[in-house]
Structure formats: C-alpha cells, structure tokens
Amino acid sequence: MSVSGFESPQEQAVHALYRELLRSWNRRDARGFAALFCEVGRYIGADGSETTGRIAIELDVAQSFEGCPSRPYIGIVREARLLSEGVALVSAAAGMYPPGSFRVDPSVNTLQTLLSVREHGRWRVMLYQNTPALFRGRPDLAQQLTVDLDRALQRSAAATTRS
C-alpha cells in the first residue's frame, strides 16, 4: 500500500482530483471547479439541484457563490477505487465549517460520490453528487461523522500551520 493509503497511481490521481474539487470550492473559484468536469459532466448539489455540462456548472456555481456566502469544505476520502482502466469512483464524507473555525456544522454534513473518467490523458469528473448525511434515527452515526470531520479539519489546520 502506498503512503497515501491508495494502491495504484490511478487511485492516487482520482483522490487528488477530489481534493482539487474541494480546494476550488473553498477558493470560491467557479471556473476552476467546473474545469475539473468532463464536457458533459454532472453536478448534483446537496439541495438536489442538478446541473449538466461544464459551462452550465460554472454558471450555476458562480451564481451560488454570488447569491450567498458558501462555507469551505473539509473532506475525508473513504475509498478511491479503479472500476476499469479509465473509470474510477471516490466515496467521501464532507463537512462545512465557518472560516477560522475548527468545528464543522453537523447540519450540513454530506456523503459525496465522485465518478471520474480518464479523458485525453487526464482524470475528469463525470458525476459529483452530494447527499445530506442525515442518518435519521441513528444519531450515533451522525455524531461519529462530525467527530471524524472535526479531527480532519484540525489535522488540516495543523498541517497548514507547519507549512
């Protein structure tokens, strides 16, 4: 197993694609976010909104950024799996936090799925879906996810401080 915890260079690459997607969101960079998608990629937001196509995704995300202040994400990749030579799946959990805070807001925790394809030698997002992590009737799972995301946020802040 590699240092990153993923077996192959392809799995590492799709993990990096997911991290870049979150970084683009956190920078409020709609163009950079959309550039990571295939021409016909699809984005499904946590509110259920669906947007298809790189240009439409850029416009939709830019409008979201203009309409209200979005909070940054912290994500935990649970699995990066190569499904075939040119198709990979990332399963992740993510939380949002107020800038400067080291605690996520559990009311907006999500489970995220990223389906990526290798296109012209580069991994791109075919589908990125956010599902609210409500865990109805299972508060222990919701609480554990929040604890895990808080820890990830604290590790990220510590790593940034050391850099």
Q: What is the DSSP letter of 106?
A: G
What is the per-residue pLDDT for 157? Answer: 77
36: β partners: none
Domain tally, the chain: 1
16 belongs to a structural domain:
yes
Say if 137 falls within a structural domain.
Answer: yes
Whether residue 2 is contained in a domain is answered as: no
pLDDT by residue for the chain (163 residues), tens only, comes to 333 455 788 889 999 999 999 999 999 999 999 999 999 999 999 889 999 999 999 999 999 889 777 789 999 999 999 999 999 999 999 999 887 788 999 999 999 999 999 999 999 999 999 999 999 999 999 999 999 999 999 888 777 666 5
**Residue 1 within any structural domain of the chain:** no
Query: Which tokens hold the place of 132?
Result: 């609210």
pLDDT value at residue 2? 36
Q: Which of 118, 75, 117 shows the shortest CA–CA distance to 96?
A: 75
- List the CATH number of the domain containing 91: 3.10.450.50
**What one-character DSSP code corresponds to residue 69?**
P
Give pTM, 2 decimals: 0.89
Range of the domain at 110: 9-162
In this structure, is residue 4 part of a structural domain?
A: no
Distance (Å) of CA 68 to CA 40, 73, 105, 152: 26, 15, 17, 25
Ramachandran class of 16: left when φ > 0, alpha when ψ lies in -120 to 50, beta otherwise: alpha
